[in-house]
Structure 1
């Protein structure tokens, strides 16, 4: 068996992001070239099983083929391909060499290459989704839910357009991503379930299988049922492109949610904001020249990976086009899908690690809130004035904010000095006045909304949270 120094690899996914051996082995089970051959062989086995059940292939054939593919290596298939110049013919030849003469004719019987390739890809991506991708994303989702619940009451200044807006809570900020990621996980589940296979022959018209079976579509269903798949309504030499397109889109849009979270958290670590921090190892270096720096490397890495792989979605869309019954313009490009999935998993794992150690700087989050504490009550003040009958409340409060910026007076103090606004303050209810006097209470239902969102997804995903019980 050929061995290779990982640092001789070209893809950074193999030599830089594969250093966590256990994680890389898990991914390789579905996305490596070894996995490609394994799943293609499983499709060939499913075919033989159905042929045997229909009385065409020998009764012993499935057991022979199963034993053969257990001994099959990727290296021998590649060696055979060097001779045949055809990957699936090489696979078939290698299996045939390991079975009896009686079984040999039924390997790949009535099949075309992409009956095997497309079906195997749908199968492995479907399994990767249920057994690898979704569990990893749910682990990240849980870590965010725990942060949201823990921080549901911690007041934070809201920000729109990079400017201080009105108060929220930090838990509410995180709850956005709890909701968005939860919905994406459900979308991945739905789209993975719709991945399809085919066993319809060279142009999708069942030309070969139709020679032997009066019900070639039923034969196709039986073969795919062995694998837990269903056929599409219409195939050519390849499966309909849209189910795979939709599945990959669900992954890319999920990646975008991770990148958005990473970008937000990175911004909150800016020196002038510094509301959160990530754990720094005692020997970790933030800068090669500035020893004091603690760079948000994990969040930046996630965004960087997203930038590298998100554009692959354009290629996936282009792969929807195939001339007539099929051309080969997706054969190379589709081989890079495992890299996109691997990058998504790497980003999810990184965010899970850093989220589990996220620290909130209580002093800075309070300091930033209090920076414009006197001004952020402009919204409730304007609304209360309007509700009390002021004819142009927005303009009146806008002018007060300009005066507040010029002086050291609060909006409340300026209301007392304004002849135009005399009498309005007394018309406010005590609870309404409190929102002006204590801006930290003007958080709407941020805490309740956060708890509601977390509880919703906790129920859907059935996990226990480390923080307080809902």
Structure 2
């Protein structure tokens, strides 16, 4: 069968293709080849700037257009060449040499890929594509989601809600504050993420500039490589490497995304639970079906879909961060195939973020249900009463409230007020205690 959305093995390229196809700019085989071409061209032009070779403006402009207008046809040419070379980066080198032939610049061809190993290209092209994916797509997506949650938190700032610790009724809280918990957690992790640099390797076959140094022993190749990576590509160069980069910072990025995803899983489960106890209704859409058998159902599928995809993303991210920093001696090839999969967990993560955004947009607060739960759980003000009694130096207030409330089937307003009336405290304290309700015992309105 021909590959299309119905025949694709991965749901990323099948069922969810329309939602995720923009990621092929960073993570597809085409993208990898495109970024390799970009790095090779930038390196060639940088050699020219440093006077190793004289590159006419016309040739410079021609190659820059090759990078800017790199096409599927160009990538196909390279893949056909790879069938002969059985080496992907060498095929890119031959492609660019052919482009120089078009300009009658055969005398410059051997400055393409001068002194380099393939990993000097891969370990700059991939970090660069990763940097662009993070800065242009992932970070905006997660920050937008954080903003959406914060807007809901502000909207529900003054909505009292029964808290549940260990699944049991507990001291009341505010719905808005509970959402702000996730806003703060995301903000902290996004900030930590931003501290992690984008790094790459650029230093020859085993990281020592052997070929560069033998050709030009008096030239400062370390300075050259640092300038090239940082000023031309915008990534930090690792100073001591084997044939490949360490992948430590890339692993740190994966771990950071994994932590953020774990927070989102927690959010999904909480919102799912609020829906299950009817704190939230969900907006319906004409024609949609919740259950093939039960017409009344409006299932929280957006949060379930997100949770599932976040789980897949985290499983892959865990493998990536555990595997990539490990390489036998100066290099083995296990990183190559693994690196080709870094877009997979990102795609599942982006899909999850969009599902959560969609789910949040469908929520409708069911305030009567929140009030009903508070009214049915007057026992939660026991903490407030015993705390004030402690302040008044009342003997064993905790034990008195424990005897009144623990394990009892029904504690209502009448029960609490009868208890307060019998207390041997001043009238003013009794009045103070009777003003406490499950609706206003919500602490500081943060």
Same fold per superposition (TM over 0.5) = yes
- Secondary structure of 1:376's counterpart equals helix
Which residue does the alignment assign to 1:24? 21
In the TM superposition, residue 158 of structure 1 has moved relative to its aligned partner by 0.9
Q: 1:407 to 1:130 in 2, by over 3 A?
A: closer
Q: CA deviation at 1:404?
A: 5.2
Within 5 Å, give how 1:139-158 maps onto structure 2: 139-158=144-163
- 1:264 to 2:264 alignment: no
Alignment-derived partner of residue 309 in structure 1: 313
How many Å apart are 1:153 and its aligned residue? Answer: 0.1
Range moving further from structure 2, 94-103 or 146-155: 94-103
Cα distance change on mapping 1:51 and 1:377 into 2, 3 Å: same
Aligned residue for 1:330, secondary structure, equals helix
Cα-to-partner distance string for 1:16-45 (whole Å, 9 max, x where unaligned): 11224xx522x2222222221111111111
**Contact 2:127 2:199 (8 Å CA) reproduced:** yes
Gaps of 5+ in 2: none
* Correspondence for 1:7: 6
Q: Which residue of 1 aligns with 2:127?
A: 122
Q: 1:220-259 residue pairs with structure 2 within 5 A?
A: 220-224=225-229, 225-259=231-265
Matches within 5 A, 1:424-435: 424=425, 426=427, 428=429, 431=432, 433-435=434-436
Change (3 A) 1:432 1:126: farther
Aligned pairs for 1:227-376 within 5 A? 227-270=233-276, 273-315=277-319, 316-372=321-377, 374-376=378-380
2:87 maps to what in 1? 86
Of stretches 228-237 and 154-163 in structure 1, the one that deviates more from structure 2 is 228-237
Alignment root-mean-square deviation, CA: 2.0
Question: What is the alpha-carbon distance in structure 2 between the residues aligned to residue 431 and residue 209 of structure 1?
Answer: 82
Secondary structure at 1:75 match in 2: helix
Quote the residue 2:440 is aligned against: 441
8 Å CA contact 2:417–2:434 kept in 1: the answer is no
Which residue is equivalent to 2:63?
Answer: 65
The worse-fitting range, judged by mean Cα deviation, of 397-406 and 336-345 is 397-406
User: 1:233 Cα deviation (Å)?
Assistant: 3.1
For the residue of structure 2 that corresponds to 1:8, the secondary structure is coil
The structure-2 alpha-carbon separation of the partners of 1:12 and 1:251, relative to structure 1 and needing over 3 Å to count, comes to same
Q: 1:9 to 1:227 in 2, by over 3 A?
A: same
- Write the distance in 1 (CA, Å) between the matches of 2:90 and 2:256: 33
Q: Secondary structure at the match of 2:347?
A: helix
Q: What's 1:34 paired with?
A: 30
Report the alpha carbon displacement of residue 369 of structure 1 after superposing the two structures with TM. 2.0
* Match 1:167 to one of 172, 175, 189: 172
Cα deviation 1:250-297 (Å, max 9, x = unaligned): 111111122111111111111xx1111333211111112222111110
**How far has the Cα of 1:430 moved from its partner?**
5.2
Deviation (angstroms), 1:310: 0.7
Go from structure 1 to structure 2 and tell me whether the alpha carbon gap of 1:394 and 1:339 turns closer, same or farther (over 3 Å shift): same
User: What residue in structure 2 maps to residue 196 of structure 1?
Assistant: 199
CA displacement, residues 130-166 of structure 1 (integer Å, 9 cap, x when unaligned): 1111111222112111111011001111111111111
User: Cα 1:444–1:356, aligned 2, differ >3 Å: closer, same or farther?
Assistant: same
Distance in 2 of aligned mates of 1:407 and 1:165: 14
CA displacement 1:357-380 (0-9 Å, x = unmatched): 3211111122222221x2110111
CA–CA separation in structure 2 for the residues paired with 1:35 and 1:218: 29
Following the alignment from structure 1 to structure 2, what is the Cα–Cα distance between the partners of residues 128 and 425?
66
Compared with structure 1, are the counterparts of its residues 40 and 424 closer, same or farther at alpha carbon in structure 2 (3 Å cutoff)? farther
Q: Which runs of 5+ in 1 are unaligned?
A: 450-470
Summarize the alignment of residues 39-54 of structure 1 with structure 2, pairs less than 5 Å apart: 39-54=35-50
Helix, strand or coil for the counterpart of 1:289? coil
Residues in 1 aligned to 2:238 and 2:407: alpha-carbon distance in whole angstroms: 68
Aligned-partner Cα distance in 2 for 1:59–1:430: 89
Q: Equivalents in 2 of 1:328, 1:318: separation in Å?
A: 12
1:376/1:439 contact within 8 Å kept: yes
CA-CA distance at 1:330 after TM superposition: 1.7
Count of residues paired in the alignment:
431
CA distance in 2, matches of 1:403, 1:281: 43
Distance 1:377 1:269 in 2: 25
Whether 2:75 is the aligned partner of 1:74: answer yes
* Greater displacement, 205-214 / 329-338: 205-214
Please give the per-residue CA displacement for 1:331-354, whole angstroms capped at 9, x wherever unaligned: 212211111111111111221222
Equivalent residue of 1:16, what SS? coil
* Aligned 8 A contact 1:48 1:62 in 2: no
Q: Give the 3 Å change call, closer, same or farther, for CA 109–263 of structure 1 in structure 2.
A: same
